[in-house]
Amino acid sequence: MKWQQRVVVLILAAVPALSGYPLTAAAGEILPGLTWGWGAYFVAVHLLLALTTPSRLYGNILAASALITLPVVFGGAALSGLMHLTGVGRPGGPQAYSPHYLALLTSMLTVIPLGLALVASIPFQILEQQVLTGENGISRAEKNLLMVLRVFNHIVHDVIPATLEVVREEWPRAPGAGQARRRPSPAGLIRMMTWLGIAVICCAVQYIPLWAVEIARLPERRPRRLQGREQPLQHLKPPEKHPGRGTAACHRLRK
Amino acid sequence: MTLGAQALGPETDRTPDLRKHTRYFATYEAREAAVAARTAALVPRKHAGPRVFWEDFGRIRGSDLSARADSRQVVIGSNPRECLAFGTPRQVLTAARLGLGQNQEPGDAPDVETAARRFEIFDTLDQPLRTLSGGETLKLCCAKAFMAASEVSRLTIASPFCCLSRASTGLLADLVGHCERRAIPVELLALEGEDSRAAMDPAGLPSALRPTSLPFALRLAGVRISLGTVLNALTTRPAVAGVDDFSARLRSPCLLVGENGQGKSLIARVLARAVAYQGTTSLDRGRGPESGRLLFQDVLNQTLLRPFPAMAASSEQPERTLALFDRIGQLCQQYLSARGRALPAGAFQSNAPFRSLLETKALLAAARLCGAPGALILDEPDWGLARETAIALVAAITRVAHEATIAVILISHKPWWPTFCPSVVAVSRTRGNPRAQTAEAFRVHLCRQTEARP
């Protein structure tokens, strides 16, 4: 399946989660908190993902989804249980909050894999390259797309990895990285999460004006009626693909 | 036409040409102010608050991404990556070629691959920008400026001598010569002594900073590093870089040297466990295997934009960190006084929330020394510092580290350091493609410079 087809199928599959239809129609409960609608949707989404994504990718998506979901659901449920035991929780006890967490578990294990599969299906760098190979200039929509892609790629491939490296270095978990390591206090942890959030947001957006200038410099697409009358920008056309391009052997041959 | 540094003749022939275009600054902050003046219309004013940022953003967004920029000046900042708006070198160069305008004669514009070969980045054309080293990124910026030369009104490069290794500085001269032939004004904004090739003289250090030597053992065994990001790992089998096994008894301060893109910073990240890897690494100073702490080249990112008091408070021992910070400042002052110089006004004395780059580096180093790691690794500690200030800082940090029996590992291109470091380890890598879906994209090899390479 081509990536474009896969993206369309996955977007269509996301419609029930976004609109609620027809999930709300099948409101009968299998278990308290788990409706027939969500149960069927969960099964259908995972069947679709298993059929449309490579098995390695599907496995990674499942692992990532579980890592995101389980701490939220079980942490939340544990906290609710603790609050109930200390007498500050909901008056109904576990019967009151358990359906909520079961519904949360089902929806997260459905929506997160779908979202991850959708993001992983889009070859962002190929899209960027395709836009830049236009022979008649770059349209305004394509420029906006280039900017969106740049920001996304910058966050995913630059900001987050660089921040993770700083975090790993700043809080080394391995023994021997420092003898006087101590556990951060809750206040210190919250403070650090705040700094991390600020740093990530600032790093994500600080170069946008520079990129806007770079992208604005790309030539405007000429009107369609003029395209046939003028010489196409042959010098802007990228060279044809060479099977050995980029390899050391090819480099030597070309020299 | 020349092709690459080797074809350009001896570098010394080029040095006077570069000096003619170079303006020297005493501090990073003064140099950045000059760069900001050049790019006042483009660059968001950092640390100026969100209101100013959104003003800038709104003003540029107002052009609706369709107006051609009024100014055709090219500015390569001290972080060259910031002006690259695309994902790979091929895309950056393709966009530079597209941006030449539709009246451009085809013969005037070099094609992407010719420019890439000329600036020695042909093998990295399809790599994601993040996997390029600092030197390779600067070469890419030079190639981009070279392609756009026919439409450029001015070329400004900040910190031109910092990222490029000695063998690659000829490329810079090549670009400057190309601009000279087109009567394009070129301005190189450097820090004092940044282009100096004289080795430092350890005998000239004040007695408090005379280098001492500390033995330690460095060992890497079976190290394999994943090169992809989390998203890459979702979709593909990420490429892996291998590191040849290495075990040696070294003496601190130890210098890691190598050309651009050979993997020096990668080794530093492995030793500090800042990246995930398989295998074993250890730094042993007689107390058993330990890991190191790292001062990144880009310390501004490492600060996470925290103000000075927050950085000090987040260290393990805030009071000791500040004491070590003061001691480093005093030692720097001693060195500079002996050389008839002085620290920038207010350095190590003010209470400002945002301090100079020198103070930031000193504080981050002090915070790391407090934890008594196996080694403190300084990745390009001379980045953003004038020569004498860099020597003062490194000598001061080394002295303070050795007093706590902590080894120091330096990573630098500069020819200043070999006389300061009793151990020198060369880092090199096999050629390869980091995007390769094979078992190993390339291997990094370390060897003591006195040893013969296998």
Q: Are residues B166 and B221 in the same domain?
A: no
Per DSSP, the three-state class of B427 is: strand
In this predicted structure, the answer to whether residue A7 has a pLDDT above a threshold of 60 is yes
In this predicted structure, the answer to whether residue A83 has a pLDDT above a threshold of 90 is no
Q: Are residues B176 and B256 in the same domain?
A: no
Between A42-56, A117-131, B37-51, B280-294, the lowest mean confidence (pLDDT) is in B37-51
CB contact under 8 A, B68 and A56: no
pLDDT of residue A234: 44
Q: Closest approach of chain B CAs to the CA of A176, in angstroms?
A: 4
Mean pLDDT of A59-79: 89
Class of residue B82 by CB neighbours under 10 A (exposed 0-12, middle 13-18, buried 19+): middle
- Contact between residue B252 and residue A138 where contact means Cβ atoms under 8 Å apart: no
Q: What percent of chain B is predicted at pLDDT more than 70?
A: 82
Q: Is residue B118 part of a domain?
A: yes
Q: What is the Cα Rg of chain A in Å?
A: 25
Q: Closest approach of chain B CAs to the CA of A140, in angstroms?
A: 7
Q: Is residue A100 part of a domain?
A: yes
Of A176, A179, A196, the CB nearest to B304: A196
Q: Are residues B264 and B398 in the same domain?
A: yes
Q: Are residues A44 and A78 in the same domain?
A: yes
Q: Are residues B59 and B105 in the same domain?
A: yes
pLDDT of residue B246: 93
In this predicted structure, the answer to whether residue B448 has a pLDDT above a threshold of 80 is yes
Residues in CB range of A91: below 8 A, 6 or more apart = none
Which residues on chain A are in Cβ contact (under 8 Å) with B115? none
Q: Are residues B256 and B138 in the same domain?
A: no
Q: Are residues A116 and A159 in the same domain?
A: no
For residue A155, what is the DSSP state? I
CB contact under 8 A, A140 and B123: no
Of B61, B95, B305, the CB nearest to A198: B305
Q: Are residues A59 and A33 in the same domain?
A: yes
Q: Are residues A117 and A130 in the same domain?
A: no
Find which of A116, A125, A169, A182 to mutate to test the B interface (most B CBs within 10 Å of its CB). Answer: A169
- Structure token pair of residue A87: 């007498």
Q: Are residues A160 and A220 in the same domain?
A: yes
The predicted model scores a pTM of: 0.79
Q: Are residues B118 and B263 in the same domain?
A: no
Between A73-82, A102-111, B199-208, B355-364, the lowest mean confidence (pLDDT) is in B199-208
Between A183-197, B12-26, B347-361, the lowest mean confidence (pLDDT) is in B12-26
pLDDT of residue B64: 47
CB contact under 8 A, A239 and B111: yes
Boundary-marking domain end, from B146, B169, B191: B191
Q: Closest approach of chain A CAs to the CA of B420, in angstroms?
A: 26
ipTM for the predicted complex: 0.83
**Residue pairs spanning A and B at CB distance below 8 A:** 233
Which residues on chain A are in Cβ contact (under 8 Å) with B296? 165-166, 169
Angstrom distance (rounded) from CA B5 to CA B10: 9
Which residues on chain B are in Cβ contact (under 8 Å) with A129? 88, 90-91, 94
Q: Is residue A115 part of a domain?
A: yes
Q: Are residues B79 and B177 in the same domain?
A: yes
Q: Are residues A66 and A152 in the same domain?
A: no
Boundary-marking domain end, from B157, B191, B225: B191
Q: Are residues B130 and B215 in the same domain?
A: no
Angstrom distance (rounded) from CA A37 to CA A112: 17
Q: Are residues B239 and B342 in the same domain?
A: yes
CB contact under 8 A, B293 and A125: no
Among candidate residues A120, A128, A170, A165, the one with its CA nearest the CA of residue A149: A128
Q: Is residue A27 part of a domain?
A: yes
Q: Is residue B197 part of a domain?
A: no
pLDDT of residue B80: 83
Give residue-wise pLDDT tens across range B13-29: 444 478 888 999 999 88
Q: What's the Cα-to-Cα distance from A237 to each of A63, A132, A234, rounded to whole Å?
A: 42, 9, 5
Q: How many CB atoms lie within 10 A of CB A178?
A: 23
Give residue-wise pLDDT tens across range B17-75: 788 889 999 998 898 888 877 776 555 444 444 455 555 555 555 554 443 444 577 88
- Contact between residue B406 and residue B372 where contact means Cβ atoms under 8 Å apart: yes
Residues in CB range of B393: below 8 A, 6 or more apart = B328, B332, B358, B361, B362, B381, B385
Half-sphere exposure of B321 (CA within 13 A, CB side): 22
User: How high is the mean pLDDT of chain B?
Assistant: 81
Angstrom distance (rounded) from CA A138 to CA A237: 13
pLDDT of residue B366: 94
pLDDT of residue B235: 58
**Ramachandran region of residue B331, left (φ > 0), alpha (ψ -120 to 50) or beta?**
alpha
Q: Are residues A107 and A219 in the same domain?
A: no
Question: At residue B199, what is the residue type?
Answer: A
Q: What percent of chain A is predicted at pLDDT more than 90?
A: 18
Domain count, chain A: 2
Q: Is residue B260 part of a domain?
A: yes
**B218 falls in which pLDDT band (50, 70, 90)?**
very high
Looking at per-residue pLDDT, the higher value among A84 and B351 belongs to A84
**B101 falls in which pLDDT band (50, 70, 90)?**
low
CB contact under 8 A, B98 and A132: yes
Q: Are residues B151 and B219 in the same domain?
A: no
Angstrom distance (rounded) from CA B317 to CA B399: 20
Helix then strand count (H, E) for chain A reads: 11, 2
Q: What is the DSSP string of B126-183?
A: TS-GGGS-HHHHHHHHHHHHHHTGGG-SEEEEESTTTSS-GGGHHHHHHHHHHHHHTT
Q: Are residues B116 and B212 in the same domain?
A: no
Which residues on chain A are in Cβ contact (under 8 Å) with B125? 245-246
Q: What is the DSSP string of A58-101?
A: HHHHHHHHHHHHHHHHHHHHHHHHHHHHTT-S-TTTHHHHHHHH
Boundary-marking domain end, from B135, B167, B191: B191
**B104 falls in which pLDDT band (50, 70, 90)?**
low
Angstrom distance (rounded) from CA B162 to CA B164: 6
Q: What percent of chain B is predicted at pLDDT more than 90?
A: 27
- Contact between residue B381 and residue B344 where contact means Cβ atoms under 8 Å apart: no
In this predicted structure, the answer to whether residue A172 has a pLDDT above a threshold of 80 is no
In this predicted structure, the answer to whether residue A60 has a pLDDT above a threshold of 60 is yes
- Contact between residue B211 and residue B252 where contact means Cβ atoms under 8 Å apart: no
Q: Is residue B196 part of a domain?
A: no
Start-end of H helices in B191-263: 230-235
- Contact between residue A230 and residue A133 where contact means Cβ atoms under 8 Å apart: no
Structural domain for A188, as ranges: 126-173+183-224+237-254
* Backbone CA torsion sign across A184, A189, A195, A200: positive
CB contact under 8 A, B305 and A199: yes
Q: Are residues A37 and A151 in the same domain?
A: no
Q: Are residues A145 and A163 in the same domain?
A: yes
Q: Is residue B273 part of a domain?
A: yes
Of A64, A162, A163, the CB nearest to B234: A64
pLDDT of residue B154: 84
User: Tokens 């836009």 sit at which residue?
Assistant: A131
Q: Is residue B268 part of a domain?
A: yes
- CATH number, domain of B299, equals 3.40.50.300
For residue A184, what is the DSSP state? P
Q: Are residues A9 and A88 in the same domain?
A: yes
- Structure token pair of residue B125: 């054309």
Q: What is the Cα Rg of chain B in Å?
A: 22
Q: How many CB atoms lie within 10 A of CB A131?
A: 20
Mean pLDDT of B422-434: 81
Give residue-wise pLDDT tens across range A18-29: 888 888 888 788
Mean pLDDT of A107-118: 93
Q: Closest approach of chain B CAs to the CA of A37, in angstroms?
A: 29
For residue B259, what is the DSSP state? -
Residues in CB range of B57: below 8 A, 6 or more apart = A205, A208, A209, B44
Q: Closest approach of chain A CAs to the CA of B402, in angstroms?
A: 15
Angstrom distance (rounded) from CA B223 to CA B242: 6
Q: Are residues B150 and B250 in the same domain?
A: no
Q: How many CB atoms lie within 10 A of CB B90?
A: 23
Find which of A53, A143, A214 to mutate to test the B interface (most B CBs within 10 Å of its CB). Answer: A214
Give residue-wise pLDDT tens across range A177-190: 554 555 667 777 78
Among candidate residues B146, B214, B216, the one with its CA nearest the CA of residue B186: B146
* Backbone CA torsion sign across B70, B76, B82, B83: positive
Mean pLDDT of B94-102: 76
CB contact under 8 A, A178 and B371: yes
pLDDT of residue A237: 46
Q: Is residue B31 part of a domain?
A: yes
Structural domain for B81, as ranges: 5-191
Domain count, chain B: 2
